[in-house]
Structure 1
């Protein structure tokens, strides 16, 4: 079952955004998160679905939900699905029961190595989502979640870690500092006690930015959130897929 799950999973690349996705219901359909392919919606960046061995398939966006609600995107492959790939099928009666074992797969941190993880359902979040106890990281977004019978339960969508809001605030402050440094550079160098303040402030901004990115990338409390597949199935039915 672990290999079958891996054989259904892709790395999704869209501009600078990288996440995961999987074949679902039909050979020419791949699903992922809305936020993974957002560069396509913003400035028409191309979407690629990439297999574990590096085969790259072109994909176009068929439909998507609001990323603040169900956060899914349905893609259609422009290239044929390679041989020996697995297509996950729906089971609308499968439930994410607290304590039940599950598997999820994807490309954490955007690395090119496909990883399959074991986890459990920790509890409900809302009607459309559930907590999973497992190593969910950036890049896992859009990956499949299946139960011990291999039945699709949901799609990896979020991770939870302490200090996330603080890191977002720091990122905004670093961006503002960077803008101020750029403004100073346009007006020439400023010397304070023999120190080039423009260069000094720019170094601080770059250092803080790099630090916040490293902390956020590696922060992992072992808590992830999966969104139930039923809501995406409703869109499949509407599209007649």
Structure 2
């Protein structure tokens, strides 16, 4: 192949260089044209957008529903924060066991202590005491010195002179009660004194002294409350002052506390938490229709169900607590009946409505009037009685010493008797060996400590299983009063009393009978199976003061 000449090569190189220049010039011209067109389009877009768009404006404020806000402004100044301080005495262990606590009992109770309030999850005793007695089991290794305990609750001012309604469990056993008013600095508090308490309804009246009238709340009529009504709960949950939650009334007439006849609650889903106790439940008229008292919970906090004591009950109790005697007096006729009506009883006794008497208190008003076990009370002063709640509500509201015409059915024949109403506490004090309150119409009153200072209960098979007892013999101690004879000899919650002074104790009646027969100065020897032992007994003894 013949190589190109130098002249041809020079012409070819010149043509290539010219072609490259033409290409570069063409590309540059295209880029320039595109940029101009693009800028023109963008300018046109901005021009169209700015001419067609409508500027936004801030609207005038609308008047929305402000009923909750109005109620909050009206009621919050009357809601108070209550702080209490009390001394928890170390339980006396003198004579309690006569020896060191068994290791297995130590381990269980140490678990309770480490877990704090509520106890260890695996503790059957804690479960037992929470379920049946509503508190901790105690026992175990504890500090030997007294402990200072602080508690928090709420209250509502219902008198400009400084009278406040709260729960008894908020101020119970408190050495100091401090009240903080809304709007005052947290460092400003007022000392409060207890005017009176009612254990049956868990209500207390306290008072603070101020130099000026205080804002106060008005109590409404709780009978008008309907399921589905809006309600507000005010208080200091977890110490958060001036907190308001909203909900509805989800049920009425709830009886949630065993052996408490006078606590029938309004149920609500307004959030109620620890610290709300004693605060008001308010309706949409701004009136207090309940006092927040309890919650249903498995975790210690709000789970959608709370309970408030109805205002009608609160008013009745308050009026008696501010009276000169500062105590609540309730009537009784001295009968007991099953808490839950049993259709079989009605069929056997031939009465489908009313209250069939299961027991008549010896020398009580009913027995003196001729009423017997098996009679069915159907009316009081001509007003029909359908169930035990109605009977208790009617009789307890009557003044001791007054009379009532009680209608009853015996062997299919209706009869009547004039019954003199007795004071409940006095009627049953003798039965309990002095100093206690009665078990109540229906046998549902809270058992009270008496001469020994110990409250006992019959042992059911379920209790025996929970306490790991070999059988149901004896009675179990459910509570021991501080500084009482029972505490001094070493009795504690969960102990099982088998004998007193060599006399067998098979049930509560045996305990009361033996207790009532002993006088001051008598030697008392308990044969006890200590809590935590499924076998083995010890003596606990002392001289009755």
Q: Which residue of 2 aligns with 1:157?
A: 293
Listed as ranges, the gaps of 5+ residues in structure 1 are 164-215
Q: Which residue of 1 aligns with 2:314?
A: 232
Q: Which residue of 2 aligns with 1:119?
A: 247
TM-fit CA distance, 1:22: 1.0
Q: 1:93 to 1:228 in 2, by over 3 A?
A: closer
SS class of match (1:32) = strand
Alpha-carbon distance between aligned partners in 2 of 1:49 and 1:95, rounded to the nearest angstrom: 31
Contact kept in structure 1, 2:79 and 2:156, CA below 8 Å: yes
Which structure exhibits the higher relative contact order, with contacts defined as CA atoms closer than 8 Å and separated by 6 or more residues? Answer: 1
Q: 1:59 to 1:151 in 2, by over 3 A?
A: same
TM-fit CA distance, 1:93: 6.0
Q: Deviations over 1:87-125 (max 9, x none)?
A: 0123336533100011110110123x3201111100021
Match of 2:206 among 52, 75, 90: 75
TM-fit CA distance, 1:12: 0.5
Match of 1:223 among 286, 305, 311: 305
The answer to whether structure 1 residue 86 and structure 2 residue 215 are counterparts is yes
TM-score in terms of structure 1 length: 0.68
RMSD: 2.0
The answer to whether structure 1 residue 141 and structure 2 residue 274 are counterparts is no
Q: 1:102 to 1:17 in 2, by over 3 A?
A: same
Contact kept in structure 2, 1:102 and 1:147, CA below 8 Å: yes
Alpha-carbon distance between aligned partners in 2 of 1:220 and 1:109, rounded to the nearest angstrom: 11
Contact kept in structure 2, 1:102 and 1:121, CA below 8 Å: yes
Larger Rg over CA atoms: 2
Q: Which residue of 1 aligns with 2:74?
A: 4
SS class of match (2:267) = strand
Contact kept in structure 2, 1:58 and 1:79, CA below 8 Å: no
Q: Which residue of 2 aligns with 1:63?
A: 196
Pairing of 1:140-219 with structure 2 (within 5 A): 140-162=276-298, 216=300, 219=301
Alpha-carbon distance between aligned partners in 2 of 1:73 and 1:139, rounded to the nearest angstrom: 16
TM-score in terms of structure 2 length: 0.31
Alpha-carbon distance between aligned partners in 2 of 1:149 and 1:94, rounded to the nearest angstrom: 14
TM-fit CA distance, 1:226: 0.5
Contact kept in structure 2, 1:22 and 1:32, CA below 8 Å: yes
Moved over 4 A (4+): none
TM-fit CA distance, 1:81: 5.2
The answer to whether structure 1 residue 98 and structure 2 residue 250 are counterparts is no
Listed as ranges, the gaps of 5+ residues in structure 2 are 1-70, 86-149, 256-262, 325-545
SS class of match (2:173) = helix
Contact kept in structure 1, 2:168 and 2:198, CA below 8 Å: yes
Q: Deviations over 1:19-55 (max 9, x none)?
A: 0001014432011100010132xxxx11111123333
Q: Deviations over 1:189-227 (max 9, x none)?
A: xxxxxxxxxxxxxxxxxxxxxxxxxxx3xx321211001
Pairing of 1:18-57 with structure 2 (within 5 A): 18-40=152-174, 45-52=175-182, 53=184, 54=186, 55-57=188-190
